[in-house]
A and B are shown apart, each in its own frame.
Chain A
Amino acid sequence: MPPLHLVWRNLTKRKARFLLTAGSLAIAIFLLCLLRSLVVALDAGVKAAAADRLIVQSKVSLFVYLPQSYGPKIASVEGVERVMRWNWFGGYYQDPSNFFAQFACDQDELQAIYPEIQLVDGEWDDFLRDRKACIVGEATASKYGFKVGDSVPIIGALFPKTDGTTWDFRVAGIYKSIKKNVDDATLFFHYKYLENALDSGEGSGPAGVGIFVVKMAPGSDRTEVMSRIDALFEQGPQVVQTTTEAEFQAQFVSMIGNVPLFVSSIGGGVMVAILLAALNTMLMAAREQTRDIGVLKALGFGDGVVAGVLLWQSLALCACGGGAGILLAAATEDPVAKMLGTVFPGYEVTSATLWAAAGATLFVGLVAGVGPALRARGLSVIDALRRTG
């Protein structure tokens, strides 16, 4: 074991360099945690998807609407217990920057098909009774200050009102999801409200159903149910594709590009950058300490101990910087989650992410330190003492 007080003094000898390198490590490790947490948030919906739910969509594209008549037909398929229409509304609250998801859905089916949606304020019955009622996720409610009884005017971008006014919803409940496949940022409202407005000409927009959400009967074979639904509409007018909820979530994530690959690429770049920063610092430190290395060897310290002085410096440097980054990531979890809010719901810095960051820190420490350490180990006493600075 090298003299640890010597390790620490050498490390902090040039305070500005130490602070700058440790600071850059802290920021880089924080960024790694942030990026990984975003990927985890994206994957959370896929992982938490219900096994007994299926999604029926157009085989052509998610943006091609299905005929209303498909609903009863799907409901008649053996193994199907419940069917719910589900349309992306695509509106915004007051300003386009106030983005959160709104879905029109069959209100009577929502609670039965999505038992993970649980009201923390308000009443289901109140939601079901009033056609203009909606329920809002607590993240969105908290962000915009919505309370039960409030009126929420939404400007329809995909479904504009023909007279240019807003769609007015009354908050009947605030919900929280107990599983990550449903976020806490969405506004759900009555499908009938949208349907009637389109039928009466009060609103305009694409006719038809975005997707059908199917809840399977207990004990039914998923593959068979999916095949039966697909076979039902093989001859059109719209060919459908039935997928599991997990596949649908994964497809939805992939629509915004290969995010995990993109984020991993950025993470890889960050890793290389911090590795170079740490390596540069350690190479400078090793050069400056060459004579000290010679002195230690002359005094009788073994090659391994002398190499350890540099390796431990590298590990200590990375532990300081990486540790600060990890602490920062853990400490800012709530503020960052609030900031990302409805854009990236489900942001969470998991313990797996923190361990991965610790592993990355250790890796950088070892790689940055091993070169200078090996050089110190192989240096002869005479050569080391001959160095002047």
Chain B
Amino acid sequence: MAALIQLRGLVKGYTRGGETLRVLDKLDLDLEAGGFYALMGPSGSGKTTLLNLVGGLDRPDGGSIVVDGEDIAAMSGPELAEWRAEKVGFVFQGFNLIPVLTAQENVELPLLLTRLSRAQRKEHAKSALELVGLGDRRSHRPSQLSGGQEQRVAIARALVSDPMLVLADEPTGDLDRKSADDVLALLRLLNEKYGKTILMVTHDHAAAQQARTIVHLDKGGRLGRIEVVR
């Protein structure tokens, strides 16, 4: 099967206090369509940096990132924004819902960038919230939801525009075990039932076991071993 994501010679560094720290060092990696990958590694191994690069939130210093045949490293800012809206759904550790909007409105946000009518947007958002089990919490603001519910709303927002790729950065990091299990179950559902390719950064071994493949990154941003779980 052709790789959905092809990383070749990926280099990324940050300059802090005049010193350049290389986070990713000539990383080569292929991730297949329909896979559920957990990215693990010690602090400073470049997990989140890699996720941000694959999601088009950041730009590499060198190398290429080809996703679904497109080199996103060569895209302009507006092209990249459009690409993100169409192809990627994000789930963040801190949920990152807009606090002044209701659950329904948060989920509708990505649909504002589509040609859907207002009624269609509402219907899609409603379906996404029902899928994550929050059909009865549509009019609640984030402050009126528990952490687990907030993350489920964030998942609904990530999937509502039907992206091919869902990127999750420590999605269970701020949750208790029960809520974390619910979120992981949802991610598995997205992968297994809806065929979404998922790349999840996690420190949690239990969470990583829910993925099909665990990609280990070593300190300094080098590729470690690749472990097939299921």
| A298 B84 Cβ-Cβ under 8 A | yes
Known: A298-B57, A381-B57. A6 touches B98 (CB 8 A): yes
| B81 A302 Cβ-Cβ under 8 A | yes
**In the complex, what residues of B have CB within 8 A of residue A9's CB?**
100-101
| A385 B96 Cβ-Cβ under 8 A | yes
Cβ of A215 within 8 Å of any chain B Cβ, yes or no, is no
- By secondary structure, the B interface counts as helix
Cβ of A335 within 8 Å of any chain B Cβ, yes or no, is no
Contact with A along B47-69 (1 / 0, CB 8 A): 00000100101100000000000
**In the complex, what residues of A have CB within 8 A of residue B92's CB?**
385
| B77 A298 Cβ-Cβ under 8 A | no
| A300 B81 Cβ-Cβ under 8 A | yes
Among residues 284 to 323 in chain A, which have CB atoms less than 8 Å away from a CB atom of chain B? 291-292, 294-303
Other-chain residue from A3, A5, A302, A382 in contact with B58 (beta carbon distance below 8 A): A382
**In the complex, what residues of B have CB within 8 A of residue A382's CB?**
52, 57-58
The residue on B at minimum CB distance from A297 is: B81
Other-chain residue from A10, A296, A297, A385 in contact with B100 (beta carbon distance below 8 A): A10
A contacts with B, residue count (CB < 8 A):
22
| A298 B58 Cβ-Cβ under 8 A | no
Contact with A along B183-205 (1 / 0, CB 8 A): 00000000000000000000000
| A299 B58 Cβ-Cβ under 8 A | no
Most buried by B among A292, A300, A381, A385: A300
B70 to chain A, nearest CB (A): 15
Cβ of A13 within 8 Å of any chain B Cβ, yes or no, is yes
| B105 A5 Cβ-Cβ under 8 A | yes
Cβ of B36 within 8 Å of any chain A Cβ, yes or no, is no
B34 to chain A, nearest CB (A): 23
Known: A5-B105, A301-B81, A302-B78. A13 touches B100 (CB 8 A): yes
The residue on B at minimum CB distance from A298 is: B90
Known: A300-B81, A300-B82, A300-B110. A295 touches B58 (CB 8 A): no
Other-chain residue from A291, A295, A300 in contact with B86 (beta carbon distance below 8 A): A300
**In the complex, what residues of B have CB within 8 A of residue A297's CB?**
81
Other-chain residue from B55, B78, B101, B110 in contact with A6 (beta carbon distance below 8 A): B101
Cβ of B112 within 8 Å of any chain A Cβ, yes or no, is yes
Cβ of B223 within 8 Å of any chain A Cβ, yes or no, is no
Contact with B along A8-33 (1 / 0, CB 8 A): 01100100000000000000000000
CA distance A166 to B25 in the complex (A): 103
B124 to chain A, nearest CB (A): 15
B55 to chain A, nearest CB (A): 8
| A6 B100 Cβ-Cβ under 8 A | yes
**In the complex, what residues of B have CB within 8 A of residue A298's CB?**
55, 57, 84, 90, 96
CA distance A10 to B99 in the complex (A): 9
CA distance A10 to B105 in the complex (A): 13
Contact with B along A376-387 (1 / 0, CB 8 A): 000011100100
| A303 B77 Cβ-Cβ under 8 A | yes
Contact with A along B11-26 (1 / 0, CB 8 A): 0000000000000000
**In the complex, what residues of B have CB within 8 A of residue A295's CB?**
96-98
The residue on A at minimum CB distance from B49 is: A382
B173 to chain A, nearest CB (A): 14
Most buried by B among A3, A10, A291, A299: A299
**In the complex, what residues of B have CB within 8 A of residue A5's CB?**
101, 105
Cβ of B131 within 8 Å of any chain A Cβ, yes or no, is no
CA distance A300 to B158 in the complex (A): 12
| B110 A299 Cβ-Cβ under 8 A | yes
Cβ of B4 within 8 Å of any chain A Cβ, yes or no, is no
Known: A3-B109, A381-B58. A299 touches B100 (CB 8 A): no
Contact with B along A50-94 (1 / 0, CB 8 A): 000000000000000000000000000000000000000000000
Among residues 65 to 124 in chain B, which have CB atoms less than 8 Å away from a CB atom of chain A? 77-78, 81-86, 90, 92, 96-101, 105, 109-110, 112-113
A99 to chain B, nearest CB (A): 55
CA distance A292 to B83 in the complex (A): 20
Known: A291-B96, A381-B57, A385-B92. A299 touches B84 (CB 8 A): yes
Most buried by A among B81, B83, B105: B81
**In the complex, what residues of A have CB within 8 A of residue B97's CB?**
295
For the A-B complex with A298-B90, A301-B113 known, give 7 more contacts whose Cβ atoms are closer than 8 Å. A9-B100, A10-B100, A13-B99, A298-B55, A300-B113, A303-B77, A385-B92
Interface residues of A (CB under 8 A from B): 3, 5-6, 9-10, 13, 291-292, 294-303, 380-382, 385
The 4 closest A-B pairs by CB, nearest first: A300-B85, A9-B100, A300-B84, A381-B57
A-B contact pairs, 23 of them (CB 8 A): A3-B109, A5-B105, A9-B100, A292-B98, A295-B97, A295-B98, A296-B109, A297-B81, A298-B55, A298-B57, A298-B84, A300-B81, A300-B82, A300-B83, A300-B110, A301-B81, A301-B113, A302-B78, A303-B77, A381-B52, A382-B57, A385-B57, A385-B92
